[in-house]
Every structure is written in C-alpha cells, then in structure tokens.
C-alpha cells in the first residue's frame, strides 16, 4: 500500500503547537505522523479543553475524510514536534474507495482510535489525576523515540482537563517515587515499569487493542520515499 501512495505523500515538519484542524473547518489533508505526535482536542464554550486521543506513528489524523465527512468537531494540535506524511483529501478518499486492503487497515485503526477515545472519557471521569497522568505519559512514550518529553504543566493540564495544581501534585509524587524526573518544560521517564504500576487499566486496554488490531503493521524503513521536507 505504501509503495502505491509514495508518489503522492509529502513529507512535512510539524512544529510544536501547530493547529492542523480547527473545529468545523474543512479538512484539506490527512496526516500520517512518523516522529510527531498529534493531540485531538475538544474545546468547550467556556474555553476549557481536554484531549480525546493522541495519534503517533501508529495512525492517521483525519479519519473523517474516509468516514463520510470533511470536517470534525475536534481540533488537531501538534503535541510533539516532528515529521509526518501528508496526503491530500481527494487522494485519500479515492484510495480508500478503490483498494480493499487500505480500507480494512484504516477501519481497523479507526476502531482502535474509538477505543482510545472511549477509554479516555471513562478514565477522565473515574480515575485519579496520578493514574490519568501515568496513562498519558505511557501512551506518549509508546509513540516517542525518546524518554524525554517536552511538556509544560499547563499543557498537561489542558490535555487531561484538570487544574495545574493537580498536575503539580501528581507529577511531584511520581518524581518522589523515582519514576519520572521533571524540570521546567521537560518530563523524563526513568522507570517505565514503575510508572506502569501507577497507571490505571485504561493504558493497558488501549495498548492491547492497538496490538490486537495493528500488530501485523510494520514500519518499513526500506519503503520510505525521500521527498524534500517542507513545513506543513
């Protein structure tokens, strides 16, 4: 599938904080993150916000394009700067309708994303801030090549939909336990196994579903094209 699409994929750099989609705006492209991570956010009328899901190198940003729409009520914001492949909306729709293999793959990913969104909603409602933070850090770590994450407490609070004070307390406790190291704007996971003991079952549900649905999908370095990198 990748080889057929390679000529239409554009490698772009996604800077931290870039808005890929605004709620209700027409979507012109789909994004396949490679080293970047994108957060799907919902913003309330009051200005409060929370992350519904994150997308890294396991997925695609822009599922509405092949699910019958061309806009989304959520925003898509770059959480971790890095690269992604960009495909124009028309090409994605054409390929989805034409090729069964790609269609099945994208629908499998969509099921995994729905699980993540539902589990995140349940987690935010029923679990402690420390459990939510541990879940979020582990999922982000799964998508990252580094154990060090560039993330402020304000941004973490926005992701989880909790007050900054709650993040400060939860991160402080995880640091006291020796599982993370926090300095201004940076969080380093130094004991992943320990961090997993502080996470709720939501992390493991999401990870298991991703593995069940996408374990046969591999990142193939030999098939990567070498286009000129552009800013998105």
Domains by residue range for the chain, with CATH: 1-125+222-232 (2.60.120.10), 128-199 (1.10.10.10)
**Could you tell me the pLDDT band of residue 219, with boundaries at 50, 70 and 90?**
low
Residue 173 has pLDDT above 60, yes or no: yes
Give the relative orientation of helices 100-126 and 129-142 as an angle to the nearest 10 degrees.
Answer: 160
Instruction: Give this prediction's pTM.
Output: 0.89
Residue 190 has pLDDT above 80, yes or no: yes
Task: Give the chain's mean pLDDT.
Answer: 89
Average pLDDT over residues 119-128: 94
For the stretch 8-34, pLDDT in tens is 899 999 999 999 999 989 999 999 999
Residue 223 has pLDDT above 90, yes or no: no
Number of residues assigned to the chain: 232
For 88, left (φ over 0), alpha (ψ -120 to 50), or beta?
beta
The pLDDT assigned to 37 comes to: 96
């Amino acid at each position: 599938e990748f080889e057929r699409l390679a000529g239409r994929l554009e490698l772009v750099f996604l800077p931290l904080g870039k808005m890929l989609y605004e709620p209700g705006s027409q979507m012109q492209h789909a994004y396949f993150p490679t080293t970047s991570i994108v957060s799907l956010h919902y913003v309330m009328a009051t200005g409060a916000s929370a992350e519904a899901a994150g997308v890294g190198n396991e997925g695609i940003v822009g599922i509405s394009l092949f699910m019958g729409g061309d806009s989304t009520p959520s925003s898509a914001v770059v959480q971790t700067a890095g690269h992604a492949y960009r495909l124009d909306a028309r090409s994605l729709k054409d390929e989805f309708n034409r090729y069964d293999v790609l269609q099945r793959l994208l629908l499998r990913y969509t099921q995994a994303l729905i699980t993540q969104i539902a589990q995140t909603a349940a987690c935010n409602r029923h679990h402690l801030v420390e459990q939510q933070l541990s879940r979020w850090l582990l999922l982000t770590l799964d998508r990252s090549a580094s154990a060090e994450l560039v993330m402020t407490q304000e941004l973490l609070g926005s992701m989880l939909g909790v007050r900054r004070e709650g993040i400060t307390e939860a991160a402080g406790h995880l640091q006291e336990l020796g599982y993370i190291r926090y300095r201004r704007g940076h969080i380093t996971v130094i004991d992943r196994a320990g961090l997993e003991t502080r996470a709720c079952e939501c992390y493991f549900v999401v990870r298991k579903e991703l593995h069940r649905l996408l374990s046969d999908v591999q990142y193939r370095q030999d098939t990567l094209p070498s286009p000129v990198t552009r800013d998105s």
